[in-house]
Structure 1
Amino acid sequence: MTQLEKLTLFYDGACPLCQAEILFLSGRNQENLLDFVDINSERFDPQAVGVSCEAAMAAMYGQFASGKLIQGVSVFPEAYRRANLPRLAWLFTRKPLQPFLRLGYLFFAKNRHAISSLLGPAALRLVKSKSTSASL
C-alpha cells in the first residue's frame, strides 16, 4: 500500500456543518494524516498558503505536505482516504458523479451559512454525541 502524504484542510470554523465534518474527520485521524486549520484563526496565513481569505471562504482547500494545493470536491476523497473511509473516497472519485458533486458543492459553498443554520446544529450535536460515546 502506498504511503499517503499528510493533508491540511482549510475550513470555515464559523460554519456549523463545516465544524461537524472536521470534528468527524479528526475523530478518524488515527494515523495523523490530516491537519485542520480554521481560516478565521491566526493559524491561517494566506501568504504562506497562497490562497486569499476570500478564495478560502468560496471553496474548500487542502494542501499536501509537499505544498501542492487542491480545492473543491477533489479535497474530499483525499481527506476520506486519510480518515480511513475508503468507500466514501471511492464514491467521490466516480467520474459519472463528478458533475453532480461539483454542482452540489458549489451550491453548498455559496449557501453554507444558510444551510448550516438549518442543519448544522443537529449535525454538530450528532457528531459530538458519537465522539463522546466512542471515548467512553
Structure 2
Amino acid sequence: MSGRNQGQLLEFIDINSDQYDPVTVGVSCEQALAAMYGQYADGSLISGAAVFPEAYRRAKLPFLAWLFSRKILQPALALAYQFFAKNRHAISRTLGPGALYLVKRRAASQ
C-alpha cells in the first residue's frame, strides 16, 4: 500500500516507534496489536475490516475499495479479519516469502 501512496493520503506509523502516542490516538499498543486501526485527519478512528475500503480508496484501488465496502460482505470480512488478526504472524511466515518474491520480480520487470 505504501507504494501506491503517491497522493500522500495514507500515513503508516509503527506503534513501536517514537512517532506513536497512544494517549493522543486513544488506542493502546495492545489494542493496536489486536486489531487494525485507522485515523482520519479529523482524529476520528475506525477499526477492523472498515479500515480496508478507506485505505484502498486512498491508495487509488477503486475495485478493492468497492469490494470491501459491500454491506453483504461485511459479516464474512469481519470474520476473516478476526481470523487474520489472531494468526497474522503465522500467515506472514507462510505467505510472506512468496509474496516478497512476487513483489521483487514485478519491480525488476518494470
TM-score normalised by L of structure 1:
0.75
How far apart are residue 133 of structure 1 and its match?
4.2
Q: Which residue of structure 2 aligns with residue 113 of structure 1?
A: 89
Q: 1:83 aligns with which of 28, 50, 59?
A: 59
Unaligned runs of 5+ in 2: none
Q: Which residue of structure 2 aligns with residue 127 of structure 1?
A: 103
Larger relative strand fraction: 1
**More deviation in 120-129 or 109-118?**
120-129
The RMSD of aligned alpha carbons is 1.3
How far apart are residue 132 of structure 1 and its match?
5.0
Residue deviations 1:86-131 (CA, integer Å, cap 9, x gap): 1100000111111100000000000101111111122233234434
Change (3 A) 1:61 1:126: same
Q: Which residue of structure 2 aligns with residue 63 of structure 1?
A: 39
C-alpha distance in structure 2 between counterparts of 1:129 and 1:44, whole Å? 33
How far apart are residue 36 of structure 1 and its match?
0.5
Relative contact order, CA 8 A, sep 6+: which one is greater? 1
How far apart are residue 45 of structure 1 and its match?
1.3
Aligned partner letter, 2:55? A
How far apart are residue 43 of structure 1 and its match?
1.6
Q: Which residue of structure 2 aligns with residue 32 of structure 1?
A: 8
Unaligned runs of 5+ in 1: 1-24
Aligned residues: 110
Q: Which runs of 4+ in 1 moved over 2 A?
A: 124-134
C-alpha distance in structure 1 between counterparts of 2:42 and 2:23, whole Å? 16
Larger relative helix fraction: 2
Determine if the alignment matches structure 1 residue 99 to structure 2 residue 71.
no
Equivalences for residues 36-51 of structure 1 within 5 A: 36-51=12-27
TM-score normalised by L of structure 2:
0.92
How far apart are residue 40 of structure 1 and its match?
2.1
